[in-house]
Structures are given as structure tokens and as C-alpha cells.
Amino acid sequence: MEHLPRVPGDGSRSSVGGFVVIMAITHDEILAKLTLPWIEIVPSRRTMSKRSLPAQAYESSPIVIVQALPADKTSLDLCSRFRQKHWKPRFNDAHVPCGNAWQIVTPSGERLLIFSWVNWLRNSRQMFEDFCRETNHEFGTLTPNGVVVLGARQIPFRDCRLTHEDQFRPRPPVTIRKQSAKSILAKSDTLLQSRNSKVQDVDYRELHDDDEAHDDELQGQLQSDFLANMAFYEKALSVKFGTPAEVGSKEHKSIPINGVVRYAIWTVGKKRLYLVVSHEDRELPWVTYLGVTV
């Protein structure tokens, strides 16, 4: 059995006949990961984004344990809903929790989701807790000595079962399906008809968990797929609007997006139509945006 590199706190994986097998993880390994007092802000934040960093290079890592509802197959489901409400790609009004790849199953059968994140803005944990209240999710904490606290209940963590989220939902496919030229042109026409600046995502791929976020081969494949799709979309748009006025691989004042990997801009009348591939950080999604600035 060939063992793949071990990720602390996320169990280990092995490859058997082309299938990935997830090995067991201990409760102490989960506690060791989740109760660390500090998490370093990854260096790529400094180079991939122009926004200023906190004065400290390290930030507290708050932990929230959330009771899963039947619709919440994985922590990514709840993360995505929270992101849709609070995360804005340019101004980053609220930082988002990173889903842990393991779930806690209590002796009574409740599923609990684990969330931790680098708390860039002081109110981001409060925003997440408010979101949980609004969506009727009970939430609490996991203490360093191994007690899950949910309201008035205290559940010994070591009495719970740990289940990997891949058992609830398979990993999404890596290949990003290309949209048709007709679809891209229809989206651009709709955007250009707007009186206001607007943006929408064309391709989108969430990072499933920490394993995916730190899988260099996967990140490289996603970059290749997104750039290949963008080249196709750029060609389709160029047939209609001509050669782009500008292309590049850095953030641009006319594009309200962080983490730019590649962009192309067309001047259409008094408006600017842009296509951009964005990946702001390892843990954040790969996105292709199509937008217009007025």
C-alpha cells in the first residue's frame, strides 16, 4: 500500500488500485489542530492581494462547532451559503470559515460540523454566528480539554465518532466544464445592457477541504483548466468585440476583483467589458468572472 503525504489533523490517505482510502484519525489529533492558539497568515496573501494586512502576522483561530441540518451534507454546504451572503471578492467584507474535512457524530447520532478560520476582521466570527441563528443552526465550541459545548449541553468529545466528509459526498470532479461561446456572448450582451457596473461568475470551483487547498498538483490542474476555458471565452468575445484593449495578469483599476490570474478588457462604447480568472488564496475558490464597468 502506497501512502500519500500525511496532512496533520486531517488523517492520512493511501492509494489502492486507483482508489483513495482515508485512514482513521484520533480525537487527540483533531484537538491538537483545532486548539492551536495561532494560525499563520499564509505568505501568498501578501503577494496576491493589494489590500493591507493586519499589523500582526498572526491572528487568533476561532473555532465554531455547528449542528448539521439534514441538508448540510458537508461543511462546504454551510460555508457556501455563508459566502454567498457575506463574501465580496473585492472588498472582503467578511472572511469565511474553512471547512474541516471531518465531522463529529455524537452518541445520539447528531452530526456536528467543524469550522475554523483566520479572523481578519474582528466581527467575522460574530457574523458567522448570526448567520447560524438566522438559519436555525445550533452552534457552540470545542474546548481544549475535549468537551463539545452546545447551549446547556456538554458532550464528551472522545465519546463521539469522527467521520470523514467524503463519506457524505464524493469529491467534485477536477475538470471544469467549458461553457459554450453562445452562452458567453449572451451573458456579455445582458451585462452591457445594464446601466450599472455588474459582474457574474462564469466558471466556479470551490476547494473541498484543506487537502485540496494544499494539493499543488490539483491547484496546478485547476489553473490550467480555468486558463484554457478563459482562452476559449476570450476568443469568442474577440470575434464579436475585436481584440482586447488590454490583457494582463495583475489586478487592474477597472476590474473590481482580487487575486487576478489573467484578465482581458474590451472597450464597448463608453463601457468596459472584462473577463478575468481569479484565485485569491489557496483556500478560496477558483472563479472566472465576466463583468462590465460603466
Question: What is the per-residue pLDDT across 191-230, written as a single tens digit (0 to 9) for each?
Answer: 999 999 999 999 999 887 777 888 888 899 999 999 999 9
CA 140 to centroid of chain Cα atoms: 22
Q: Which residue has the higher pLDDT, 184 or 73?
A: 184
With cut-offs at 50, 70 and 90, classify the pLDDT of residue 175.
confident
What is the model's pLDDT at position 15?
41
Spatial separation of the C-alpha atoms in residues 157 and 34, rounded to whole Å = 13
Residue 185, helix vs strand vs coil? helix
Mean pLDDT of 135-142: 93
> Which region, left, alpha or beta, applies to residue 47 given φ > 0 means left and ψ of -120 to 50 means alpha?
alpha
Amino acid at position 168, single letter: F
Residue 122, helix vs strand vs coil? coil
Please provide the DSSP assignment of 6-66 as one string: P-TTS--EEEETTEEEEPP--HHHHHHHHT-SEEEPPTHHHHH--SPPPSSSEEE--EEEE
User: Is the distance from CB of 275 to CB of 288 less than 8 angstroms?
Assistant: yes
User: Is the distance from CB of 289 to CB of 238 less than 8 angstroms?
Assistant: no
Question: What is the per-residue pLDDT across 48-68, written as a single tens digit (0 to 9) for each?
Answer: 343 444 444 344 456 789 999
Spatial separation of the C-alpha atoms in residues 125 and 17, rounded to whole Å = 42
Residue 268, helix vs strand vs coil? strand
Spatial separation of the C-alpha atoms in residues 267 and 290, rounded to whole Å = 14
**In the predicted structure, residue 140 carries a pLDDT above the cut 80:** yes
pTM over 0.95: no
Strands 98-105 and 111-116: antiparallel
**In the predicted structure, residue 160 carries a pLDDT above the cut 90:** yes
**65 is written with which cell numbers?**
462547532
Kind plus residue range of the DSSP H or E element containing 133 = helix 124-134
The phi, psi pair for 254, rounded to 5°, reads -90, -5
Average pLDDT of every residue of the chain: 79
Residue 251, helix vs strand vs coil? coil
**In the predicted structure, residue 282 carries a pLDDT above the cut 90:** no
**In the predicted structure, residue 26 carries a pLDDT above the cut 60:** yes
Half-sphere exposure of 146 (CA within 13 A, CB side): 12
Beta bridge partners of 22: 13
End-to-end CA distance of the chain: 58
**237 is written with which cell numbers?**
468575445
With both helix axes pointing from N to C terminus, report the angle between 181-192 and 216-241 in degrees, rounded to the nearest 10: 70
Q: In this prediction, what percent of the chain has a pLDDT beyond 70? A: 73
What is the model's pLDDT at position 78?
85
Spatial separation of the C-alpha atoms in residues 25 and 278, rounded to whole Å = 34
